[in-house]
Chains A and B, each alone.
Chain A
Amino acid sequence: MSQLILTWSVAIAQLMLGVSICCAALRLMRGPRAQDRILALDTFYVNAMLLLLAFGMQSGQTVYFEVALGIALLGFVSTVALAKFLMRGEVIE
């Protein structure tokens, strides 16, 4: 039973994360402001990380968590760089 619940919930989670990624992509494209796009990219990253976790649970292999770890630790660097660029006009001063 618990097996069934897990299988279904992971599948639903994947689907919903996919939808949220699509939403983020939509905002990414439409903007309108640069800030919106950057936030959308950050959302994209977070959702992708979660999607990978869900995928790892589905396959039962921890190897896939590595990439999720990578996104969690360093995925925000792009966001920071972009935000810094907007704020100061330069990434590294």
Chain B
Amino acid sequence: MTAATSLITLIALPFLGSVIAAFLPSNARNREAWVAGALALGALAIVISLHSAVADGGVVRLQLPWVPLLGLEFSLRMDGFAWMFALLITGIGFLVVLYARYYMSPEDPVPRFFSFLLAFMGAMLGVVLSGNLIQLAFFWELTSLFSFLLIGYWHHTGAARDGARMALIITGTGGLALLGGILVLGHIVGSYELDVVLAAGDAIRAHPLYLPALLLILLGAFTKSAQFPFQFWLPDAMAAPTPVSAYLHSATMVKAGVFLLARLWPVLSGTQEWFWLVTAAGLSTLVLGAYLAMFQQDLKGLLAYSTISHLGLITLLLGMNTPIAAVAGIFHIMNHATFKASLFMAAGIIDHETGTRDMRRLRGLRKALPITATLAIVASAAMAGVPLMNGFLSKEMFYTEALHTTTPFPLLGELLTYAAVVWGIFSVIYSLRFIHGVFFGPPADDLPREPHEPPRWMRFPIELLVLACLLVGVIPGRTIEPYLHTAVQGVLGEATPEYSLAVWHGFTLPLMMSLGAMFGGIALYATLRRFLLNRVDGPPLVRLVGRRIFERTLVFLSWRLARPLEARLFTWRLQRQLLIMVVVTLLVATAVLWGTDFSLPPIDWSAISPGLALVWLAGMACAIGAAYMAKFHRLAALILLGGAGLATCVTFVWFSAPDLALTQLMVEIATTVLLLLGLRWLPRRIKDARSTVRERSRRLRDLVIACVAGGGLGGLAFLVMTRPLPDSIARFFVERAYSEGGGTNIVNVILVDFRGFDTFGEITVLGIVALTVYALLRRFRPAPESIQRPKQQRLAAAHDDAHAARPRGDSIPQHMLVPSVIMRLMFPAAGALAIYLFLRGHNMPGGGFVGGLTLAIAIILQYMTGGTRWFEARWRINAVRWIALGLLCAAATGLGSWLFGHPFLTSHTRYIEIPLLGALPFASALLFDVGVFLLVVGATALLLLALAHQSIRSHRGQGVPAPTVSRKEKS
């Protein structure tokens, strides 16, 4: 496997796993975990194998055409920095899967969990590996979406729903801003390819649009990374299962924001605007997050605010505009990922084992959970920045940079130093709360559960991560340095500065600051311990308004603004909606056509055949009669409608459109049956003796509007048809139907070949409509007055009951005897007609659509004469399967052309020797037409039978003998 192909495999693996996981049964916990774990491990192996390609500043690229017309390519690009992120995502992802296997309870629907988790992993890999900025924004939004699903995994709890919604709105909006920023950036550079953008740093910084682009991109990054003032969504995301929190907080999601900052660091940084914006956001988040973390009583809440604080640190380092600070930022991304993932997992174990996360109740767990305690203590030490831990190294780099940074205002430099120390003190305090408060002291005796050590493999991820923290902290040069170097080179390239990861630099000022912060923190913790423990959840002094502004905005948008708008602009009455639609259309048409020349060319009246004129007369009379009768006599209106339809059909034949005529005829018949089926369930007409003046005037108004609209439409059609046709696309089809489509019936060739894609869409819609009707009718509750059997049937039953010799229900078969025999005999003939119409459709009038309709009508006819039970005892049409088969057949034909290297739905024609019949023309479009045929039969049958089954269903439980053939639920 070359490096480029492994890139695409790397992206595809998690998504593939997501699909597989989604289809596994919900009780297959182990299989789920195996699939997810194996795929994550496979992805990790690919990432590791790619190291040699990206070490020393190498870049692996892969480009596939995506939207070539727009110059967009699906472009993957992995340099050292992306490699580091991919390692974190897949590595920690694997550990999270392993952990989740033991964390999730058997009641949870795990397929959903693992499916979302893997898809999220894939989306995150997409973000870091995108070589195209638009594509990056796409994956960015995908991470927002999947994090929404993961945070809301336990959607039965209100907290999960609210947290998920807030996360989606904040990060999704940020993603939109990011897309805007990327578009501006692409406008400046002239390309969205990351390579081109990264090479155009000077041009971008000098461009007048630099500031808008920067602001929009920062908005995206800050919302994702929970930077002040958008930090409030992250603590609410705690409602997610703990493995998800561990993943979101360490290697993914919030790291996407800082990833973007670092990714675009070479082109966007180095300006005053960058410095002020990024540093200010980072610094305030850093201090605020640490301050708030101290006052949390929820274990996960503490960790969440600490994440915010550490992300602030990374942002701050990236904002400082010096390469060495950027190195520190990248280093801290890795360190934070390792200790924060392990801490979340430890918190999850504590929650799992004791049943609570409230630090006011937890104490003395060291005895019950010795190993977990040790691991958590080491990880929190790393979080606090204790020497010989990885957190210490990046903290030292930060302190060094805080001391040496050069700003236009010396005061700011000092502020930075003090803020750094204060942050250090706060981190020590909240880390101590985690360690000392939870694990030390007398054991708690009022815990919801008796704690025990968790299973061996649940602890394993924490052990691995803590080991990494220690190894990096003790021997950084041997462990992390080459990898950090790879990552840094990916961002900084030539500008990579000299830096040293040594543990011991001598008694320097940064070390003094570190030690001062540590002892200050310990002293302060000792003083404040009681105060912190006895508080309610939440910080003193600071009242955060970010969340409240967010909630107010949401309430305003979704309630205060939407309600009045809905009240003013919306109506539930179909009549009024229709009125508005028609009137607006009329107005627009009048405005557009005002002043057009409506003069008619002379009409040759003698060319009109008298026979056709009479048919038209009859048809028009029927149409008007149908409209008139629709309100007063539904059945008569329906019959008249049939007459009008037939007149249309004859007209089509007359004007040389036999295809249309055939289709019109079949549709006409099917529609009549369909409407008749529905007629039985319609409520009775309200017999109002007389209507008020108001009602009459309303009807008059509607009549006028209807006449104007209908007359206008008819007039327009007439005008269009009496004018010479412009040279349209028709000639193209006429010329190429046989040479390229292999058929002489141009209509059919257009449908199945030239416009095959449209037809494919249409049959899909038809299938969807049929399924929707079926789904709606399954829950159909008829009006009370139409539940009982129709009057005619009651009379017949009463007649049967009155004669002792007749069993009940005997008279219908007798009445229907002659017609049903004839119609059964018709079935093969009608079926033959259907196949005939279908087979010759490519060259002569016909085709899959008409053929399908014909067969469906033939089937319905048997239902009518024999009854549902009689027919279904002989042939049960699984209409849904017909639909599925038809769609698959059409899609497979379309995809088949890919095998021969042609675009989707390319048709192929040849003559095939068939014994007895000789050489016959055969077009691959025929197979496509088979799909159309099957789908039309299925959809029509499903529609009609769904209605027809209502009558059996409503009779059940009314003393009717149990059906001998069970009713078909899934036909």
Contact B622 A73 (CB under 8 A): no
Q: How far is the CB of A30 from chain B (nearest CB, A)?
A: 9
Chain B residue numbers with a CB within 8 Å of A15 are 610-611, 614
Most buried by B among A26, A29, A85, A91: A91
Chain B residue numbers with a CB within 8 Å of A34 are 635-636, 639
Given contacts A34-B635, A74-B857, contact A80 B864 (CB under 8 A): yes
In the docked arrangement, what's the CA distance between A67 and B833, Å? 11
Q: How far is the CB of A58 from chain B (nearest CB, A)?
A: 9
Given contacts A91-B676, A91-B948, A93-B951, contact A74 B614 (CB under 8 A): no
Contact A14 B609 (CB under 8 A): yes
Q: Chain B's interface: helix, strand, loop or mixed, by majority? A: helix
Most buried by A among B617, B646, B679, B823: B646
Interface membership of B703, Cβ < 8 A: no
Contact B665 A67 (CB under 8 A): yes
Closest to B865 in A: A80
In the docked arrangement, what's the CA distance between A70 and B661, Å? 10
Interface membership of B918, Cβ < 8 A: no
In chain A, positions 8-32 with a C-beta closer than 8 Å to chain B are 14-15, 17-19, 21-22, 24-26, 28-29, 31
Given contacts A88-B793, A90-B951, contact A77 B611 (CB under 8 A): no
Contact A18 B622 (CB under 8 A): no
Q: How far is the CB of B820 from chain A (nearest CB, A)?
A: 10
In chain A, positions 27-73 with a C-beta closer than 8 Å to chain B are 28-29, 31, 34, 37-38, 40-41, 44-45, 48, 51-52, 54-55, 63-64, 66-67, 69-71, 73
Given contacts A67-B665, A81-B676, A88-B792, contact A21 B948 (CB under 8 A): no
Interface membership of B408, Cβ < 8 A: no
In the docked arrangement, what's the CA distance between A57 and B647, Å? 19
Contact of B672 among A31, A52, A81, A88 (CB under 8 A): A81
Contact A80 B677 (CB under 8 A): no
In chain B, positions 631-684 with a C-beta closer than 8 Å to chain A are 635-636, 638-640, 642-643, 646-647, 649-650, 653-654, 658, 661-662, 665-666, 668-669, 672-673, 676-677, 679-680
Q: How far is the CB of B270 from chain A (nearest CB, A)?
A: 77
Contact of B643 among A14, A41, A85 (CB under 8 A): A41
In the docked arrangement, what's the CA distance between A31 and B860, Å? 27
Interface membership of B826, Cβ < 8 A: yes
Contact A45 B646 (CB under 8 A): yes
Contact A85 B679 (CB under 8 A): yes
Contact B609 A92 (CB under 8 A): no
Interface membership of B791, Cβ < 8 A: yes
Given contacts A15-B614, A80-B864, A81-B673, contact A28 B643 (CB under 8 A): yes
Interface membership of B209, Cβ < 8 A: no
Contact B615 A64 (CB under 8 A): no
A-B contact count (CB 8 A): 181
Interface membership of B277, Cβ < 8 A: no
In the docked arrangement, what's the CA distance between A93 and B680, Å? 12
Contact A18 B676 (CB under 8 A): no
Given contacts A41-B639, A71-B665, contact A90 B611 (CB under 8 A): no
In the docked arrangement, what's the CA distance between A52 and B650, Å? 7
Closest to A68 in B: B653
Most buried by A among B636, B812, B815: B636
Given contacts A19-B614, A28-B625, A91-B864, contact A69 B833 (CB under 8 A): yes
- What is the size category of the interface that chain A forms with chain B? 35 or more
Closest to B861 in A: A77
Contact of A22 among B614, B636, B792, B844 (CB under 8 A): B614
In the docked arrangement, what's the CA distance between A74 and B867, Å? 19
Chain B residue numbers with a CB within 8 Å of A77 are 669, 672-673, 857, 860-861, 864
In the docked arrangement, what's the CA distance between A39 and B189, Å? 76
Given contacts A14-B611, A90-B790, contact A67 B864 (CB under 8 A): no
Interface membership of A78, Cβ < 8 A: yes
Contact B618 A70 (CB under 8 A): no
Chain B residue numbers with a CB within 8 Å of A82 are 635, 638-639, 672, 676
Given contacts A18-B613, A73-B833, A93-B868, contact A88 B790 (CB under 8 A): yes
Chain A residue numbers with a CB within 8 Å of B540 are none
Chain B residue numbers with a CB within 8 Å of A22 are 614, 617-618
Given contacts A77-B673, A81-B676, A87-B815, contact A92 B646 (CB under 8 A): no
Closest to A20 in B: B614
Given contacts A28-B643, A34-B636, A92-B951, contact A67 B661 (CB under 8 A): yes
Contact A48 B642 (CB under 8 A): no
Interface membership of B621, Cβ < 8 A: yes
Contact B639 A67 (CB under 8 A): no
In the docked arrangement, what's the CA distance between A53 and B421, Å? 100
Contact of B792 among A17, A31, A45, A89 (CB under 8 A): A89
Interface membership of B863, Cβ < 8 A: yes
Contact of B662 among A21, A70, A80, A84 (CB under 8 A): A70
Q: How far is the CB of A33 from chain B (nearest CB, A)?
A: 10
Contact B640 A29 (CB under 8 A): yes
Chain B residue numbers with a CB within 8 Å of A84 are 864
3 residue pairs, one from A and one from B, having the closest CB atoms: A89-B790, A18-B614, A14-B611
B interface residue numbers (CB < 8 A to A): 609-615, 617-619, 621-622, 625, 635-636, 638-640, 642-643, 646-647, 649-650, 653-654, 658, 661-662, 665-666, 668-669, 672-673, 676-677, 679-680, 789-793, 796, 812, 815, 819, 823, 826, 829-830, 833, 837, 844-846, 854, 857-858, 860-861, 863-865, 867-868, 944-945, 948, 951-952
**Additional pairs, 18, CB under 8 Å, beyond known A18-B613, A19-B614:** A25-B643, A26-B621, A29-B622, A31-B636, A67-B653, A73-B829, A73-B830, A74-B833, A77-B857, A78-B642, A80-B823, A81-B673, A81-B864, A88-B812, A89-B790, A91-B673, A92-B951, A93-B952
List 17 contacting pairs A-B, 8 Å CB cutoff, sorted by A: A18-B612, A25-B643, A41-B639, A54-B611, A63-B658, A66-B844, A67-B662, A77-B669, A78-B668, A80-B865, A81-B673, A81-B676, A85-B680, A87-B815, A91-B948, A92-B867, A92-B944
